[in-house]
Amino acid sequence: MLVLRGYSRLIGIFLLTLSAFIIVAPFLWVALQSFKYEIQILQGTWFTEPTLHNYVDVLWSQRSDFLKNVLNSMIVAGVSTICVLVVGTLAAYSLARLRWKRWIAAGFLAWTLVFNMIPPLTLVGPWFLIFREIGLLQSLFALVLTHITLNLPMTVWMMMAYFNELPRDIEEAAMVDGCRRIDAFWRVSLPLVAPGLIAAGVLAFVFSWNEFAVALNLTSRATATVPVAIAQFSQQYEVQNGQMAAASVLSTIPALLLMFFGQKFIIQGLTMGAVK
Amino acid sequence: MTHVLLRNVEKYYGAVHALSNINIEIANGEFVVLVGPSGCGKSTLLRMIAGLEDISGGDISIAGRRVNDLEPRERDIAMVFQSYALYPHMKVARNLGFSLELKKTPELDAQKAIANAAKILGLDPYLDRFPRALSGGQRQRVAMGRAIVRRPQVFLFDEPLSNLDAQLRVHMRTEVRRLHQELAATSIYVTHDQVEAMTMADRIVVLEAGQIVQTGSPLELYERPANRFVAEFIGSPSINILPGRILDTGRVEIAGESLPGPGPVGAKSGAVDVGVRPEDLHPADDGALFGVVSVVERLGAETYVFMKCADADLCWRVPGTPKINIGETLRLAVNEERLHLFRPEDGARLN
């Protein structure tokens, strides 16, 4: 571990504080706004008597669908995460363990990367047309499918790192002990990559939860997810700053919770195999 | 009775011929050691017996049953891996009993088998621990216990001691051998350590570059190595190889001096490599070998004297701790009944 002393320590602390401030400040500002009345926000008053008016409005007012939006987001993020984990883990296991011809494995992995390399917006147009053609436009199912497509590459790559890290000997020992390959996978390998599953799952869920561009184009009012709903607080004739801020704060809660519990696994997962 | 039979076994990796024409018969209860340098194919052969590698040609049968196309789990074997390969997420007791769990053995029988194995290996105090809380030696025992619990037809060991420190390795060597005597189970043991092979084996199979070079009891291999490779591989310190000649009279000449024995050897005259074990030398005023001592290693019970002689390095093993100094000139004679003569071109034995 790097130990700083004297001046370099002061500079280090300063830089850390600065970067933490840069990351956290906008969010704190938004959080601050969520406790003000609209007029105070527009006047730019800094400190006021906090009010929960915006939260009450977002959650329970007639013209807000926020709870419905949260439910939509939960469904999309939850279902797509589960699908991504099942497909991604099996694909990663297959690529890491079974003897694929080199070009097949490399080709597959390169192909999955394509989805991470091109901006999702370029895919939105075609997807819009496809889903309109087959009658899935504005359905949650369509959104789930797109989120699976977008999240699968990262999951496959991450789970592959975990499976590559797992000594083959352990599985072979299980197979000598009486396991079929599927038993060895299920009873030995899978429990051992559980940290990877948690990390990949949290990342996929958070990504899906926050995804905006695709959701904006493929959903309707009834199927809008949380980010889309937040954007809709800003309309042509009226911008509801307070409600928007409150909705933003609320929308971070699930992601924050997941990150809080999963961060240990995520850091481990992202740096897996980097050092021995 | 033949228990494990390998007939004309072949292994190809693409175009690479990793093992060719392997024939081994292993009797019931025999302890066979496969030994050879790294990359000679010994581990591959073991994995083929275990079913973890495909067999490219030939047949392998265990207990009279051809197993070529059987999965590892159907072969009734147990294997101890070099890395131990314990299940990190299971406690020791479950590690030991995992195979029984898979076989759906009744709980009571399984517990009895686990307790029995734990007793044999002294693992009782550790049954409730995870493998990560065990030392290397204890993990090694768990790996062996996992094999014992199953009562398999054949035990396979893949360099099980090479991850242990030197002292523990010597101890476990005896332990494995003791276990084998207790269980009388057919065992195939892979190692690159010739000392392990010599001390543990009923029979040693020496492999080189994917072929069997020689099969025999440890002493057979030591006393009559089939070629120069086996002679150099078996024995520590290694055998001395000296350039020599076979004269027209049939006598052997080293360093320009004709040896009185060992009578005419039945080989053509010409150059020859003469192999002399370090203990087959003794000081003599009329000895054929003459050189200056360069290194003296004293081990207490014996002393190794290294000297330069006839353009070759010579090692002499002397019992006890005689007074020999570096730089001293020595004249040694060879024990002529125990010479090994090898053809220089291919190393084949001549006498």
Q: What domains can you pick out in chain B, each with its CATH number?
A: 4-231 (3.40.50.300), 238-342 (2.40.50.140)
**Residue A252 CB neighbour total at 10 angstroms:** 17
Residue A44 region, left (φ>0) first, then alpha (ψ -120 to 50), else beta? left
Tokens linked to A183:
């038993």
Tell me which H or E stretch contains B258.
Answer: strand B257-258
| Half-sphere exposure for A244 (CA within 13 Å, toward CB) | 16
Instruction: Tell me whether the omega of the peptide bond preceding residue B262 falls within 30 degrees of 0, making it cis.
Output: yes
A140 Cα to chain B: minimum distance (Å): 38
- Name the residue among B71, B81, B103 with its Cβ closest to that of A173: B81
How many whole angstroms separate alpha carbon B205 and alpha carbon B19?
14
Q: What are phi and psi of B339, to 5 degrees?
A: -80, 145
Q: Which amino acid is at B151?
A: R
Q: With a cut of 50, which residues of chain B have pLDDT below it?
A: none
Residues in chain A with CB shorter than 8 Å from the CB of B188 are none
Say yes or no for a CB contact (<8 Å) between A179 and B73: yes
Say yes or no for a CB contact (<8 Å) between A174 and B150: no
Say yes or no for a CB contact (<8 Å) between A176 and B77: yes
A173 Cα to chain B: minimum distance (Å): 6
Neighbour-count burial of B62, counting CB atoms closer than 10 A to its CB (0-12 exposed, 13-18 middle, 19+ buried): buried
Question: Position of tokens 């199979």?
Answer: B205
SS3 letters for B25-48?
EEECCCEEEEECCCCCCHHHHHHH
CA torsion, points B54, B58, B62, B68, in degrees to nearest 10?
A: 40
Q: What is the CA radius of gyration of chain A?
A: 23
Instruction: Identify which of B284, B252, B254 has the alpha carbon closest to the alpha carbon of residue B350.
Output: B252
3-state helix, strand, coil in chain B (%, to 5): 30, 35, 35
In this prediction, residue A274 has a pLDDT band, given cuts at 50, 70 and 90, of very low
CA angle centred on A190, ends A186 and A196, rounded to 5°: 160
What is the greatest pairwise CA distance in chain A?
A: 74
Say yes or no for a CB contact (<8 Å) between B146 and A175: no
Residues in chain B with CB shorter than 8 Å from the CB of A188 are 87
Tokens linked to B266:
């039945």
pLDDT recorded at residue A100: 84
pLDDT recorded at residue A146: 93
pLDDT recorded at residue B265: 61
Count of CB pairs separated by less than 8 Å, A with B: 57
pLDDT recorded at residue A275: 46
Mean pLDDT, chain A, whole residue set? 87
Say yes or no for a CB contact (<8 Å) between A177 and B88: no
Per-residue pLDDT tens for A106-159?
888 888 888 778 888 888 999 999 999 998 888 999 999 999 999 998 899 889
Residues in chain A with CB shorter than 8 Å from the CB of B99 are 177-178
Q: Beta partners for B162?
A: none
Residues in chain A with CB shorter than 8 Å from the CB of B97 are none
How many whole angstroms separate alpha carbon B77 and alpha carbon A195?
32
Q: Is A78 a residue whose pLDDT tops 90?
A: yes
pLDDT recorded at residue B84: 87
How many whole angstroms separate alpha carbon A139 and alpha carbon A149?
16
A189 Cα to chain B: minimum distance (Å): 9
Contact (CB, 8 A) for A148 and A84 = yes
CA angle centred on B132, ends B126 and B133, rounded to 5°: 45
Say yes or no for a CB contact (<8 Å) between A176 and B71: no
Say yes or no for a CB contact (<8 Å) between B81 and A177: no
Q: Which amino acid is at A246?
A: A
Contact (CB, 8 A) for B28 and B1 = yes
- Name the residue among A176, A178, A192 with its Cβ closest to that of B50: A176
Tokens linked to B169:
């390795």
How many whole angstroms separate alpha carbon B25 and alpha carbon A129?
69
Q: Is A93 a residue whose pLDDT tops 90?
A: yes
pTM of the complete model beyond 0.90: no
DSSP three-state, residue A47? coil
Say yes or no for a CB contact (<8 Å) between B85 and A173: yes
How many whole angstroms separate alpha carbon A66 and alpha carbon A58?
6
Say yes or no for a CB contact (<8 Å) between A178 and B50: no
Q: Is A22 a residue whose pLDDT tops 90?
A: yes
> Helices in A98-225 by DSSP H: which ranges?
102-117, 120-133, 140-165, 168-177, 181-183, 190-192, 194-210, 213-218
